[in-house]
Amino acid sequence: MRKILLVALLACCTVASAQKTNNGFFGGKEEGWFWYKDPREAQVKPLPTPAPEPEKKETPPAKEPEKPKEEKLSAFSVKWIRENLDKLRDIAIDDPTPENVRNYYYAQRIMLDKADKFATVAKQVVTSDPYLDENNNYPFATAARASITRLQNDAKKEGLKHLAGKAGLWFFFDSKCSFCSMQVSTVNHLAQTYGFEVKAITLDGKTLPELKVPVVRDQGQFKTLNLTITPTLVLAVPPKTFLVISQGVLSDSAADERLLTVAATQKLLPSEISRQIDVYSKGVLDPEDMNSEEAKALRDDPKAWVEYLQTRLKTKY
């Protein structure tokens, strides 16, 4: 009996406790047998609402590039003449009616009259501007030209004598060479007229008649200088510069000119003598004058670049 009472008492306590907490099986009796809940259901998050796509703006059609406006030619302008004169001539030749021929000759008359007016003004401008008047560079008058020529010849002689004091000449020859014998007079001329110290170098160990300069045997100089034929003249400039003047026969005047040309190229002469020799260089602009940074900056301003050229030309006289 006592056991029965004890079991009943425990059952009552369990029921009371379940009803009080409302968490037991009896508290969820409305759910029936489907009381189990999956814990993952509480963790499921709603999917984010996709953002609306941006509206596509319609691109306006591209504008067609504007066609350049055709330049209207002024009647009787140089450009008009250039474009029409040949056409008018061809028309007149193909169909030589009085009207077509007259049209061509009137167009030609316009061109000739323009050229005449240009020549008149050009003459006035050139003769009044010392930097444009070529008579100031090299005079046109016969007497003046003769005087300039005499001064130029004197300067050439002075230049060759100056060069003879700074350099010597090597004369390569072979006694069997007929042209070498012809060159002897020129070699003597350079030595006696200007004072060049000439060393005659024989390739076969023999000398030449009429040769009035010291003769030495070739010690390999001919091959070292890559020479190929005789007679040969070489300008020897101390300490180690050798300049070939000619390989072959030269006259006296031709030898003088070649020596002066080499001297000018190598800048072996004083500038004053060089200017007197090269009379045509007076008043001539150098490439450095026209390619300077200052000149490039003035290309779009005619007044500025004319003044620039006048300033440069002033130093050339």
Is residue 180 in a domain? yes
Asked if 187 contacts 211 with a C-beta cutoff of 8 angstroms, the reply is yes
| Number of independent structural domains in the chain | 2
Where b means 16+ CB within 10 Å and e means fewer, 189-223 reads bbbeebebebbbbbbeeeebeebebeeeebeebbe
Q: Where do we find the tokens 């390999």?
A: 220
Question: Based on the domain organization, do 169 and 210 belong to the same domain?
Answer: yes
Is residue 53 in a domain? no
Is residue 263 in a domain? yes
In the listed set 269, 287, 309, which residue is the last one of a domain according to the structure?
Answer: 269
Is residue 239 in a domain? yes
CATH of the domain at 172: 3.40.30.10
Question: Based on the domain organization, do 208 and 118 belong to the same domain?
Answer: no
271 phi/psi in degrees, rounded to 5: -60, -35
Q: Rounded CA gap, 277 and 146, in Å? A: 14
pLDDT tens readout for residues 255-290: 999 999 999 999 999 989 998 999 888 888 988 888
Question: Based on the domain organization, do 162 and 243 belong to the same domain?
Answer: yes
Range of the domain at 227: 152-269
Question: Based on the domain organization, do 113 and 212 belong to the same domain?
Answer: no
Is residue 16 in a domain? no
Question: Based on the domain organization, do 161 and 99 belong to the same domain?
Answer: no
pLDDT of residue 84: 94
Is residue 259 in a domain? yes
Question: Based on the domain organization, do 116 and 156 belong to the same domain?
Answer: no
Is residue 18 in a domain? no
pLDDT of residue 58: 63
Q: Both ends of the chain: CA-CA distance in Å?
A: 153
> What parts of the chain have a pLDDT lower than 50?
1-22, 24-25, 33-35
Question: Based on the domain organization, do 207 and 162 belong to the same domain?
Answer: yes
Is residue 113 in a domain? yes
Question: Based on the domain organization, do 85 and 192 belong to the same domain?
Answer: no
pLDDT of residue 290: 87
pLDDT of residue 301: 87
pLDDT of residue 140: 85
pLDDT of residue 53: 65
